[in-house]
Amino acid sequence: MTAEPTGPGPRVAVVGAGLAGSLLAILLGRRGLAVTVYERRPDPRATGAERGRSINLALSARGLAALDAVGLRELALEQALPMRGRMVHPAGGGHNFQPYSAGGERAIHSISRAGLNAALLDTAEATPGVTLRFGARVTGVDTGDDGTGAGRLLLEGGATELAGVVLACDGAYSAMRRALRPDGGFEAGQDFLEHGYKELTIPPRDGDFALDPGALHIWPRGTAMMIALPNVDRSFTCTLFWPKEEFEALDAPARVRGHFRAAYPDAAALIPDLAEDFARNPVGSLVTVRSRPWVREGDGAVVALLGDAAHAIVPFFGQGANCAFEDCLEIDRCLTETGGDWSRALPMYQERRTANTDAIAEMALDNFVEMRDRVASPVYRARTAAQHA
């Protein structure tokens, strides 16, 4: 199946205009394809960031390489703050810096999710052939195996639209993944951690950063931890990764303040609205998604999962979005290598990406133990210092 640049109806449908969907639309538009992106939300550039999503995220070399491919690397770096190591805040007080590389030249970059998504959407919108449709929730796909040979996307409200290629970038709780599962041969599992996450804000202090903005801050506390990433407005976004019952136990402002004074005293002093922030912000879930296969071809449409829809991972390695971007690049590469033949390119993409994404899912789970526990141990600190000496 070779997608044509023009033709009746949207030949290539991208489901979800998050980080993966918007980058993928740019890459495909640049190939001269007609691409329609269906996003269930209103345009986030008009409505602001969605509650319950991480406010900022760490971009690594993988993500930057993908952004470079669409000319957005420099813009992203201008909006980001480099973090050259971890600043560990042990339970006993004080802090110690653990650089990511000996000379401090290697960094990961803290960037606003909403700002990055907006930059990708602006670029997608300006790319010939790309159409963005907001407020369009996709409920399923008909791969045209009923003799019609016409693939269709099913939209909320009952409308259907022609689509020969459907690329599902609709996130960890993907409706597309669920739609494909009963259809023979699809397997998908979701492993939820017993920990949830909640975000808090450390505002600027006297107009400046209240902590060192050149580091990713970690408060390791054994079974729980807090991290903080800097924002360009000089605030920090803290994320608590706690067992869910620990959140539930703090059911009154005095309990919240008391717990933070005991467990995170330096941070507690920097969050004036601590109890209000804690009560207002939701607790999110942390899930690992394992699904196979990612690609299904019917008589009228080929469907592929990518990004979190295919392989959501827990955030402790800061690689979910970076991996989703790599999926997009790999699809683009496979299309080049197969002369635009989707039927060969998508299985090739799956073949090349699954070992990587399986490995990173395990590393992300392992890194939770490292971040919340091991980084605080003197042995670990001595070893890290020796490695960078």
Which positions lie near ligand FAD, rule CB under 6 A? 15-21, 38-41, 54, 57-58, 137-138, 169-171, 175, 197, 239, 284, 307-309, 315, 318-322, 324
Amino acid at the residue 71: G
Q: Which is nearer to ligand FAD, 260 or 316 (CB)?
A: 316
Instruction: Name the token pair of 360.
Output: 């990173």
CB 237 within 8 A of CB 56: yes
Nearer to ligand FAD, 231 or 322 (CB): 322
Beta carbon of residue 175, minimum distance to ligand FAD (angstroms, whole number): 4
CB of 363 to ligand FAD, least distance (A): 13
Which of 168, 376 has the CB closer to ligand FAD? 168
Q: 328 or 340, CB closer to ligand FAD?
A: 328
Instruction: Read off φ and ψ for residue 191, nearest 5 degrees.
Output: -105, 115
Nearest to 328 by CA among 301, 308, 343: 308
Exposed e or buried b for every residue in 146-178, given b needs 16+ CB within 10 A?
Answer: eeeebbbbbbeeeeebbbbbbbbbbbbebbbbe
**What is the identity of the amino acid at 231?**
N
CB of 191 to ligand FAD, least distance (A): 14
Angle, vertex CA 278, rays to CA 258 and CA 172, nearest 5: 135
**Residue closer to ligand FAD, measured from CB, 10 or 171:** 171
Closer Cβ to ligand FAD, 326 or 340, answer by number: 326
Complex with ligand FAD: residue 204 or 284, whichever CB lies closer: 284
Name the residue with tokens 């693939």.
151
How far from 38 is each of 18, 35, 133, 292, CA to CA, in Å?
Answer: 10, 10, 5, 23
Alpha carbons 333 and 349: distance in angstroms, whole number: 9
Residue 85 structure tokens: 């190591």
Nearest-approach distance from CB 36 to ligand FAD, in angstroms: 11
Is the dihedral angle over the CA atoms 129, 135, 136, 138 positive or is it negative? positive
Nearest approach in angstroms of CB 25 to ligand FAD is 11
Q: How far is the CB of 113 from ligand FAD (least distance, A)?
A: 7
Residue nearest to ligand FAD (CB): 18
CA 110/CA 324 separation, integer angstroms: 17
Do β-strands 224-230 and 216-221 pair in parallel, antiparallel, or remain unpaired? Answer: antiparallel
Least separation in angstroms between CB 148 and ligand FAD: 23
